[in-house]
């Protein structure tokens, strides 16, 4: 599939069927998945959870014509095109992750976030808490309540910060200076589970409206606040740290002894994932002859200065808080790009390559400050990274707060209103209720491709006529007959059986 916008004077960009079976990522999973299953069972005495295996199985079926496809036909020249089914999973599939990225970003900008200034607050946790949140994802809900309450209180009124600067801010009106009962904030939090190195790094991207709503003559009025200072961020981070630690200690997950806080052992639901999660969070190898060692790195860039200051970014004891990214109310394009960035998939096919020795070379999205640009690992070590990235089922990775929450009283008055004629070609309403209760407007994949990449899948490349779906082919006999007629493979690529000699092969 083409991924660039068409340049002026060039012909329109048309959709070409992707061929996942030719990518290094697909071939790695295809050739080593059974061996990886055997390695986990051998070294942990437990098999991988069913949802992890389903994720790998679905990835191997994603985009393969032998598993079914849609037929599209041009009404003018009768040219036909086939489009394979996708897996729609949330783990590491680049194609389905790209669709979810585009769909989520379009939904947030068009249907959720009002046309007011937005500031991104990024909260990162120390490694022990990342491991805890991976093993006990239900703890993210109370943690989010603590974080949202702290930031909302700061936006509404800074009375919690009693220094002279904060007092001046209240008198000058640069903060809202209101009481909690008189003002409301709104935010969307996206839980991101990965880092650039395909490591497990659970952190939060909170898109807060950069101000508060207050009622004037029974109508919501938005009041903008000033950007936070570094001193304010530092005190806010300490407040979040203290409240979060108290909450986790009260629930029995942390223990405080002689002023030191430690992580208690918990009864994990998936014991086979514990070493995978822990190793992924610490950039190490979980299983095999190199277990416990750091992932090999390749440095091809010049080291950077570690003392470069960053605006509105503070850190302490492994926690960090960043609040420098700002989107003006008139710049919705920048907001949508920001939403795409924080909902992007964990991997891209272009970043995963296999070298001559058969090792996986993973290109980092951006070079580290020490000059590291690539990671090198064996296929089984790479499979461990993939398994750690897969979220548990029914884990909602997008949360809505304040006036943007599903049942908020002011929500219907402030969110962008969809056009009245927003229906599909059959005249059906294009909205659907999601698991959060928010009516999510459905956007077809064809419209997403055109919106994000400038690719028009609905236009015939021969006569520029209209392509329409005429059938969904799911019967194996019909699938084989059509693919044989087109000269395409009629069977899905076979998996290689488990090779137990590879599990302990240190080479």
pLDDT digits (tens, 9 = 90+) for 12-30: 555 677 899 999 999 999 9
Whether the CB-CB separation of 15 and 457 falls below 8 Å is answered with: yes
Interval 410-419 mean pLDDT = 83
Whether the CB-CB separation of 203 and 194 falls below 8 Å is answered with: no
Model confidence band, residue 496 (pLDDT cutoffs 50, 70, 90): very high
**Which has more confidence, 307 or 135?**
135
Model confidence band, residue 218 (pLDDT cutoffs 50, 70, 90): confident
Whether the CB-CB separation of 156 and 180 falls below 8 Å is answered with: yes
Q: Please state which of the ranges 266-270, 278-282, 429-433, 446-450 shows the lowest mean pLDDT.
A: 429-433
Interval 251-261 mean pLDDT = 71
pLDDT tens by residue, 166-200:
443 444 334 555 677 778 999 999 999 999 999 99
Interval 209-213 mean pLDDT = 93
Return the pLDDT at 441.
55
Distance of CA 4 to the CA centre of its chain: 22
Model confidence band, residue 77 (pLDDT cutoffs 50, 70, 90): confident
pLDDT tens by residue, 466-493:
878 888 889 999 999 999 998 999 999 9
Classify burial at 421, counting beta carbons within 10 Å of its beta carbon; exposed 0-12, middle 13-18, buried 19 or more.
exposed
What does the block give as tokens for 341? Answer: 């960035």
**Which has more confidence, 229 or 80?**
229
Interval 103-112 mean pLDDT = 91
Rg over alpha carbons for the chain, rounded to the nearest Å, is 25
Return the pLDDT at 7.
44
**351 backbone φψ class: left, alpha, beta (φ>0; ψ -120 to 50):** alpha
Whether the CB-CB separation of 276 and 266 falls below 8 Å is answered with: no
Distance CA 262, CA 252 (A): 11
Q: How far is CA 328 from CA 23, 258, 332, in A?
A: 39, 47, 8
Q: Identify the bridge partners of residue 361 per DSSP, sorted by sequence position.
A: 353, 376
Whether the CB-CB separation of 133 and 127 falls below 8 Å is answered with: no
Distance CA 34, CA 500 (A): 10
- Strands (DSSP E) found in 254-386: 254-257, 260-263, 296-299, 313-316, 319-327, 352-354, 360-363, 372-377
Task: Look at the block and give the residue holding tokens 């390749």.
Answer: 298
Task: Return the number of other C-beta atoms located less than 10 Å from residue 428's C-beta.
Answer: 9
Count of alpha carbons within 13 angstroms of residue 238, beta-carbon side: 7
Instruction: Name, of 66-75, 369-378, 452-461, the range with top average pLDDT.
Output: 369-378
pLDDT tens by residue, 378-399:
999 999 999 999 999 989 999 9
Interval 89-112 mean pLDDT = 91
* 127-135 helix and 274-281 helix, angle to the nearest 10 degrees: 150
Q: Please state which of the ranges 38-42, 130-134, 442-446, 479-483 shows the lowest mean pLDDT.
A: 442-446
Return the pLDDT at 451.
62
- Strands (DSSP E) found in 147-286: 186-194, 200-209, 211-216, 219-224, 254-257, 260-263
Q: Is the pLDDT of residue 9 over 50?
A: no
Return the pLDDT at 152.
93
Q: Strand, coil or helix: what is 479?
A: helix
Measured between alpha carbons, how far apart are the two ends of the chain, in Å?
A: 36
Backbone angles phi, psi at 491, to 5 degrees: -125, 150
Q: Strand, coil or helix: what is 277?
A: helix
Q: Please state which of the ranges 77-91, 252-266, 322-336, 382-396 shows the lowest mean pLDDT.
A: 252-266
pLDDT tens by residue, 262-306:
677 766 678 889 999 999 999 999 999 999 999 999 988 788 765
Task: Identify the DSSP state of 284.
Answer: B
Model confidence band, residue 447 (pLDDT cutoffs 50, 70, 90): low
Give percent above pLDDT 70 in the chain: 80
Interval 81-93 mean pLDDT = 88
Task: Identify the DSSP state of 303.
Answer: -
């Amino acid at each position: 599939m083409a991924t660039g916008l068409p340049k002026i004077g060039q012909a329109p960009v048309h959709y070409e069927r992707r061929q996942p079976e030719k990518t290094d990522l697909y071939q790695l999973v295809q050739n080593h998945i059974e061996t990886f299953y055997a390695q986990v069972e051998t070294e942990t005495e437990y098999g991988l959870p069913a949802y992890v295996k389903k994720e790998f199985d679905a990835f191997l079926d994603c985009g393969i014509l032998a598993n079914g496809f849609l037929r599209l036909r041009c009404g003018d020249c009768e040219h036909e095109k086939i489009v394979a089914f996708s897996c729609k999973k949330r783990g590491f599939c680049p194609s389905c992750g790209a669709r979810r990225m585009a769909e989520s970003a379009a939904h947030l900008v068009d249907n959720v976030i009002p046309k007011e200034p937005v500031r991104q607050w990024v909260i990162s946790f120390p490694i022990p808490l990342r491991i805890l949140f991976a093993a006990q994802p239900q703890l993210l809900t109370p943690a989010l309540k603590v974080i949202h309450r702290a930031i909302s209180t700061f936006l509404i009124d800074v009375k919690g910060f009693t220094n002279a600067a904060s007092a001046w801010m209240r008198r000058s009106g640069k903060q809202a200076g209101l009481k909690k009962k008189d003002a409301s904030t709104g935010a969307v939090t996206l839980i991101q589970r990965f880092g650039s190195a395909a490591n497990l790094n659970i952190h939060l991207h909170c898109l807060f409206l950069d101000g508060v709503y207050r009622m004037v003559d029974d109508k919501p009025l938005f009041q903008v606040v000033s950007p936070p200072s570094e001193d304010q961020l530092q005190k806010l981070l300490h407040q979040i740290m203290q409240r979060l630690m108290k909450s986790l200690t009260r629930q029995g997950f942390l223990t405080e002894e002689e002023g030191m806080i430690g992580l208690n052992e918990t009864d994990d639901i998936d014991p086979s994932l514990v070493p995978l999660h822990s190793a992924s969070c610490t950039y190490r190898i979980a299983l095999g002859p190199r277990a416990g060692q750091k992932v090999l790195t390749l440095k091809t860039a010049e080291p950077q200065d570690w003392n470069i200051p960053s605006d509105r970014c503070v850190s302490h004891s492994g926690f960090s808080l960043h609040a420098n990214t700002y989107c003006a109310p008139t710049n919705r394009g920048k907001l949508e790009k920001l939403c795409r960035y924080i909902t992007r998939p964990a991997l891209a096919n272009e970043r995963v390559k296999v070298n001559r020795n058969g090792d996986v070379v993973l290109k980092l999205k951006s070079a580290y400050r020490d000059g590291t640009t690539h990671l090198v690992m064996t296929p089984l070590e790479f499979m461990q990274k993939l398994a750690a990235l897969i979220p548990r089922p029914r884990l909602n990775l997008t949360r809505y707060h304040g006036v943007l929450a599903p049942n908020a009283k002011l929500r219907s008055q402030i969110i962008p209103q969809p056009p009245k004629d927003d229906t599909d070609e059959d005249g059906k309403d294009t909205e659907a209720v999601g698991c959060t209760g928010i009516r999510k407007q459905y956007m077809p994949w064809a419209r997403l491709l055109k919106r994000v990449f400038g690719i028009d899948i609905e236009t015939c490349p021969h006569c520029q006529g209209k392509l329409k779906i005429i059938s969904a082919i799911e019967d194996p006999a019909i699938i084989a007959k059509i693919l044989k007629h087109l000269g395409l493979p009629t069977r899905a690529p076979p998996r290689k059986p488990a090779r137990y000699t590879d599990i302990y092969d240190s080479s």
